[in-house]
Amino acid sequence: MRVGRRWLCRLAATGVLVVAVPAWGQADTARAERQIKAAFLYKFLGFVEWPPEAFERGDAPLQVGLFGADALADELALVAQRRQVNGRPVQVRKLRAGEPPTALHALFVGRAEPASGALMAQARRQPLLLLLGDSEDAIAQGAAISFAVVDDKVRFDVAPLAADQAGLKISSRLMAVARRVVMP
């Protein structure tokens, strides 16, 4: 209960979820965490720079794929609804198992799924794809940004080199608020 309230507070602070969660019912800690993560995910997109060749057009949508986190995908879709990041709409796609992470600009791999490792391994070499993880291990698996819950607080780590290898640039401002910036 106590935690739930804090999460709510956090959510309010981010300001992301105000519209997305207009009616706040019986708070569920997991959901709150999910909502925060969705907001974070959405925000991460704004701090990452894709080269122009990553898009077919100037206003081509930013394709975000989520694997093993459907609920989060829903939340994210809700967050990104009618919003744009750097002038682009955000399209959220749920990835099924075995589905290749193609035509994506960002891929979030949930930790719950068995195929997550394989997907991570598959995606880590893919250029122009921002790989996002949900656990502290994800960095080691090649994720550029990975959530980490510390003291009931959703934080994240950043591995700028991973992004660099993918041909992406992560804003220093993001790194300034990251829990850790992992340099190999």
Partner 1 sequence: MTLRLVFRSLRTKLVAVVLLTTFAALGVALAAMVAYDLRGYRQAWVGDLDTQAELLGLTSASALAFDDPKAATENLALLRLRPQVRAGAVYGRQGQLFASYAATPAERSFPALPDEPGVQVGQRQMAVFKHIVDQGEVVGTVYLRADYPLMDRVRHYAGIALAVAAVAMLVALGLSFWLQRLVTRPVLAIAEVAREVVERRDYSRRAERLTDDEVGQLAESFNRMMAEVERHAQENQQSLRSIEREVGERRIAQQEVMRLNEELERRVRERTAQLEASNRDLALATETAEKANLAKSDFLSSMSHELRTPLNAILGFGYLLGAEGDALPPAKRTDFTQHIVKAGKHLLTLIDEILDLARIESSNLMLSLEPVGLDELLQECRGMIGPTADQLGIRLLLPPEQGLQVIADRTRLKQVLLNLLSNAIKYNRPNGSVIVDCQAVAPDRLSVAVRDTGRGLREDQLAGLFQPFNRLGQEAGPVEGTGIGLVVTKRLVEAMGGAIQAHSRLGEGSVFTLELPATGAPQRTAPSRGAGTAAVALPPRGPSAGTLLYVEDNPANLQLVREIVELRGDLVQLSAPDAQLGIELARAHRPRLILMDIHLPGLSGLDALAILRADPLTAAIPVIALTANAMARDQARGLAAGFFRYVTKPVDVAQLNAAIDAALAAPAPPDQPA
Binding interface with partner 1 (CB under 8 A): 10, 12-16, 18, 40, 43, 46-47, 83-86, 156, 171, 173-174, 176-177
CA 21 to chain centre: 19
Q: CA-CA distance, 98 to 116, in Å (whole number)?
A: 10
| CB nearer to partner 1: pick between 37 and 124 | 37
Pair 150, 139: CB distance under 8 Å:
no
Pair 47, 171: CB distance under 8 Å:
yes
| CB nearer to partner 1: pick between 3 and 12 | 12
Q: How far is the CB of 7 from partner 1 (least distance, A)?
A: 10
| CB nearer to partner 1: pick between 86 and 102 | 86
| CB nearer to partner 1: pick between 83 and 93 | 83
Q: How far is the CB of 113 from partner 1 (least distance, A)?
A: 26
Q: Using the structure block, give the residue that is written with the tokens 């090649």.
A: 142
Q: CA-CA distance, 162 to 141, in Å (whole number)?
A: 10
Q: Can you read off the two tokens belonging to residue 134? A: 């949900």
Hey, how many other C-beta atoms are within 10 angstroms of the C-beta on 102?
10
| CB nearer to partner 1: pick between 94 and 155 | 155
Q: Can you read off the two tokens belonging to residue 108? A: 């979030």
Q: How far is the CB of 5 from partner 1 (least distance, A)?
A: 14
Q: How far is the CB of 166 from partner 1 (least distance, A)?
A: 21
Instruction: Enter the DSSP assignment of 60.
Output: P
Helix (H) or strand (E) holding 102: none
Q: How far is the CB of 154 from partner 1 (least distance, A)?
A: 8
